[in-house]
């Protein structure tokens, strides 16, 4: 079994779950290094690496750590020219300054040494944290993704692009968001009526408008609200892609589903269908898991596996990636690649969770391929 060095926020629950999996497999506990120390004293990471030679280095999500989030925002703001007043800390759940957050996080990733055996390469994580860039990379690799329109500067730009393409239904996505934050399913008809669905909550406070990530899906049908919401998202980086309808779950009163698959060393492992009555299927929004084998026949499953493997091959330097897909028969579209996509507790393949899979990894990628096919 490999030795591990885990880099994440202080108190990360993700680190705790991998530590438990290592303990259960009889492996030594991983060494832990936090992002907060990395930002303040980057040279100390070299000391930690020297103390764990040959270890697999896993970079965990920097989320769920407000002070760390703000430090990355300020780092990105400074790198972007430090125009205007420094960004204030976001309120709980607020979607703001995501472009600065990504610039700061990407800079941290770029500063990491090239020598360690990273579970997922820092450059790949920077790419996967930029959804639009990631989708272009997948498309360039021959992976089928929803047709991309590209970045938008605001609501008027959205309308112009839809008019030019004669398109009435798109997904508006926060370029640097995660967990469905800042995603809107948008539709308009020929007479100009429009509607948007998503978990973004538009709030007016102290004379200004703000966006918060809500745990329930919302519907907007007033032009002023939709325009304001799109403008606020576009300020932080947003793009649009064609709306691919999700298939319906039989006997579910119209609920629709997509699929999350975790690839390990290029091979599909844990998979689950996520169903929802709304446009977003993220499980933290109260949506439900359902058995994929009851929805897809053997040919469709085979196609899903092949599509996942092809998407994973676009990131040959990364060993564990979560992919979200829409599958219709033998057609599929990759909606997203997530370099932190292993947070699927109690979901098993060959009796193992994503964390138990990681606990059994050998340091070199080739060694795991043998058991991934077992």
Give tens-digit pLDDT for 63-93.
Answer: 989 999 999 999 999 999 999 999 999 999 9
71, 104 contact by CB (below 8 A): yes
pLDDT at 285: 65
pLDDT tens figures, 90-108: 999 999 999 999 999 999 9
| DSSP string for residues in 40-89 | H-THHHHHHHHHSTT-EEEE----S-HHHHHHHHHHHHHHTT--SSPPPP
Q: Are 356 and 24 in contact (CB under 8 A)?
A: yes
Whole-number pLDDT of residue 68: 97
Choice between 2 and 54, residue whose per-residue pLDDT is larger: 54
| Tokens 């109690």 found at | 346
Are 73 and 86 within 8 A, CB to CB? no
> pLDDT digit string (tens) for 126-185?
999 999 999 999 999 999 999 999 999 999 999 999 999 999 999 999 999 777 688 999
Averaged pLDDT for residues 198-207: 90
Greater pLDDT, 178 or 12? 12
Q: How far apart are CA 368 and CA 365, in angstroms?
A: 6
- The number of C-alpha atoms within 13 Å of 48 and in the hemisphere containing its C-beta is 23
On the question of pLDDT at 366 being above 60, the answer is no
pLDDT at 348 over 90: yes
What tokens appear for 164 in the block? 């030019």
Mean pLDDT of 271-282: 82
pLDDT of residue 373: 29
Domains along the chain? 4-118 (no CATH), 148-242 (no CATH), 246-372 (3.30.470.20)
């Amino acid at each position: 079994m490999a030795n591990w060095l885990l880099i994440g926020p202080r108190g990360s629950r993700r680190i705790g779950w991998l530590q438990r999996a290592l303990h259960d497999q009889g492996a030594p506990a991983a060494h832990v290094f936090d992002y907060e120390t990395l930002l303040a004293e980057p040279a100390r990471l070299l000391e930690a690496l020297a103390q764990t030679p040959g270890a697999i280095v896993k970079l965990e999500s920097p989320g769920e750590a407000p002070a760390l989030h703000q430090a990355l925002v300020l780092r990105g703001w400074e790198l972007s020219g430090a125009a205007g007043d420094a960004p204030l800390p976001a309120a709980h759940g607020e979607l703001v300054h995501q472009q600065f957050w990504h610039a700061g996080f990407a800079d941290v990733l770029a500063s990491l040494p090239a020598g360690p055996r990273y579970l997922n390469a820092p450059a790949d994580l920077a790419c996967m944290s930029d959804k639009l860039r990631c989708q272009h990379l997948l498309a360039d690799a021959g992976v089928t993704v929803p047709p991309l329109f590209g970045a938008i500067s605001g609501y008027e730009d959205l309308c112009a692009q839809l008019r030019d393409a004669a398109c009435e239904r798109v997904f508006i996505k926060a370029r640097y968001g995660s967990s469905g934050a800042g995603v809107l399913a948008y539709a308009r008809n020929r007479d100009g009526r429009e509607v948007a669905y998503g978990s973004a909550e538009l709030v007016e406070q102290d004379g200004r408008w703000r966006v918060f990530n809500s745990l329930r899906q919302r519907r907007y049908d007033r032009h002023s609200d939709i325009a304001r919401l799109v403008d606020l998202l576009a300020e932080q980086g947003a793009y649009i892609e064609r709306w691919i309808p999700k298939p319906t779950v039989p006997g579910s009163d119209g609920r629709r589903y997509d699929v999350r698959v975790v690839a390990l060393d290029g091979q599909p492992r844990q998979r689950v269908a996520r169903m929802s009555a709304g446009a977003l299927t993220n499980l933290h929004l109260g949506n439900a898991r359902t058995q994929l084998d009851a929805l897809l026949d053997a040919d469709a499953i085979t196609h899903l596996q092949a599509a996942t493997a092809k998407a994973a091959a676009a990131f040959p330097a990364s060993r564990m990636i979560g992919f979200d897909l829409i599958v219709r028969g033998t057609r599929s579209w990759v909606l997203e690649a997530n370099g932190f996509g292993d947070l699927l507790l109690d979901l098993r393949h060959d009796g193992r969770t994503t964390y138990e899979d990681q606990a059994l990894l050998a340091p070199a990628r080739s060694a795991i391929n043998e058991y991934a096919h077992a």
